Structure 1
Amino acid sequence: MVNPMLKELQEVDEHTIGVAWELGKRAESTSYPRVSSLAQLTERLQKAAHAERERLLGYFAGERLQGICAYFWDPKERYAQTTLFLIERACYCDTADGFLSVLRSHLEGYELLIGVPAANQRAVSYLENRGFACVEASIDTRWRGGPLQQPRPAIGVESITEADFAEYAVFHDRYALPLEMYWHSRNVARELERFRILAVRQHDVVRAGICARTYPGGAEIVGLFTDEQNADVIEALIQSLLQRLYQEFGALNEVMYFIAEGSDLELRAAQKAGFEVHDHYRCYRRLL
């Protein structure tokens, strides 16, 4: 390793899990994606330690573990992202510098994304001082069950299948590419079986759509796009998606939906459908 205080962790023991859990609970030391249980945290740590394109790092002061970084990379996209960036506040700069040094030597030329809660001002200040740009400021909302709202029948919402995905993809990329989203149509197509996509047409042309990536026990809305800011259409898309997910999978643990700050129509529509504000998210990006 570049730094003798840094170690690649190839096994995950109870001590590592315990430190990660404590750091992850505190706003001043946690990161995104947040973890909601020890079981979820343990699974994420184990995956980072053993998956082919993931890595788990620990930063030690003597025998004391004071920072944990897990990350993955996508060679096709030249893209990397942390899944854990947990660092004690008192030693934030040295620990984060150590992690970035390893990432730079491993993935030079990649774009790195690091997500943190807005409340972690130590992380926000550090990342901005190190040349990272804030590329997303979102409201993290979650739906965890409750009555399903009925969309207005006058708004025809249809499912997008593999057969008509190419047509939808043109509409999707009109928004996803300028926003530099990871889930542009090419990457969605790589995992199309995991996505549920709904659309609204006008005169046989897609004018609005919602795209959600499913996983065991839940889903994440990765994009909601409309040609016109119409509250009824936005509400219909969100409500129809929740109904579709319930019909296919039954009760889910949660559905995540990150809404750009200032997108008041989306936020009101999500809250009307039963989503609640969970946190405020910042995503930072820099070329390694």
Structure 2
Amino acid sequence: MQPIAPATLERLRHLRFAPLYAKPGAGVGERRSDQRGAGLEFIDHRPYRPGDDIRDLDHRLMARLGQPYLRSYAADRQLPVSVVVDGSASMGAARRDVALQLAAMLGFVALAGGEGLRVWRGGVPSPLLSGVQRAPLLFDWLARAGAAARFTDHLNTLARDLPRGGLVLLISDWQDAAALDHLDMLRRAGHEPVVIRLTTAAEVDPTRLGSGVLVLADAETGQELTIALTPEMLAQYQALWDARTQRLAKGWFFDLPQGTDPGDVIAQMRIKGLLA
């Protein structure tokens, strides 16, 4: 994985995730939550109960009403952020390096924003990280060699293991059709997925592979398939490609074509409002 330039890190340091419905709910962070606790934003008053911290007593209200009341505040919590990198063989070395670079950038944004971050690579989760001072640990963990694993194999466990209601950024080629079902499961489980698809020129336009009869090998299984790039076959492929794209784009969706700088995804996220 290529190191991120210091100037890029400085720009990323000032960005924050702006999810539509993922909510803060764990750890001590910088986001106002629905929970009551230690915080700066006043919510309302409630009657004093034995054992409450008397430092929260509102003496002026108590003087007016003759009864002790406490000031309640919204607890500041972390937004759970998970970055999931596809470790399947279909990604290939070049595409996987881009995915890791992008994961490092998005993870750094989460750390700089005081969020609770966990990064998954090849189905293996990193330790829970928080605070920009943990960025070297993030970069070191991503740089380690990871074993290849089918994307769907570890998507099976994500809905169960991820913090409920968190922001989940999934970086993949999305070649496995079964992964789309797991994506829907994440949505139903209350997570807010962000789909990032890394594509090659031939995936977008199969005619770049050549013409006539071709022998293609499945990167996952090694199985060979002989096909003829007829107009009918190309039309069928395009229909399947469009249908898959439509399912991926039900929520946050970003495409990163081959040869494009990972920073372009950051720019797209700012334009669409996911990053502010």
TM-score range for the pair, normalised by the shorter chain length: under 0.3
Q: TM-score, normalised by structure 1?
A: 0.25
TM-score (normalised: structure 2): 0.26
Which structure is larger by alpha-carbon Rg, 1 or 2?
2
Question: Greater relative contact order (Cα 8 A, min sep 6): structure 1 or 2?
Answer: 1
